Amino acid sequence: MKFSILTLFPELIETYTNASIIGRAVKSGVISVEAVNIRDFSADSHHKVDDSPFGGGSGMVMTCQPVESAFESLGALKEPARVLLTTPTGRRFDHAMAVELSQCQQIVMLCGHYEGFDDRIKTLIPRIEEVSIGDYVLTGGELPALCMLDSITRLLPGAVQKFSSVEADSFYDGMLDYPHYTRPAEYKGLKVPDVLLSGNHAAIAQWRKQQSLDKTRTNRPDLLEP
């Protein structure tokens, strides 16, 4: 899968995608990531990419031309493809959407900054989808783009060494993950639950299922609603 991320700060993207599981997925060819610097496509002599908003108000707005030109530099997209614009006003990103996106061949992400994009971008660039990672505002769209990239990549065959660990993650089966423990079996008087030391795999599976249900009921009861 190819990720094309249009941003004013490509170094943020490159630093993250060179490390850990995502870095290994890049090296092994599971995904490829290109960080496209929007500023490189500004027709302004000073490479300006923003301007003050019509109607007044604080902050600056990213202008149409450099964003549209940066997108056009990608050429024909590998289908099936999706074009995402990171914004707090968009559809909420969740596990179900990550599964949808994991079926794509290419995902383009437009990272906003300042007060966001000139709204005409949504008309100039075809099939843009506005996407949010939560009900809060960040300085720019790079973190949302990386969050989505990470979540989607984990679902791709070969990205995580043992896919069974992905299947045990929160939300994969509609519930939250169960608690995890490791050595030592006792630390500062805190003991690992006896069932996990029993060797009884059926009992362990039942305990984990119950713990997952209990945690979901307590922390996210909305996930259990029909």
164: which strand partners?
none
Is 88 annotated as catalytic? yes
Q: Under DSSP, is residue 50 helix (H, G, I), strand (E, B) or coil?
A: strand
> What's the burial of 141, exposed, middle or buried (CB within 10 Å: 0-12/13-18/19+)?
buried
179 is catalytic: no
Choosing from 68, 169, 177, 214, which is the catalytic residue?
169
Q: Which of 50, 66, 82, 88 is catalytic?
A: 88
**Which DSSP state fits 197?**
G
From the candidates 10, 82, 144, 154, give the one annotated as an active-site residue.
154
- Among 116, 119, 120, residue whose Cα is nearest residue 60: 116
The rounded distance, in Å, linking the Cα atoms of 51 and 67 is: 13
Angle CA 184–185–190, to nearest 5: 105
Q: Which of 14, 34, 115, 177 is catalytic?
A: 115
The b/e string for 181-203 (b: 16+ C-beta within 10 A; e otherwise) is eeeeeeeeeeeeeeebeeeeeee
Is 92 among the catalytic positions? no
- Residue 163 tokens read as 């896919």
Considering Cα of 72, then 99, then 142, then 134, what sign does the dihedral take? positive
Residue written as token pair 């993250």? 16
| 94 belongs to the catalytic site | no
Helix then strand count (H, E) for the chain reads: 8, 9
Question: Among all residues, which ones are annotated catalytic?
Answer: 88, 115, 154, 169
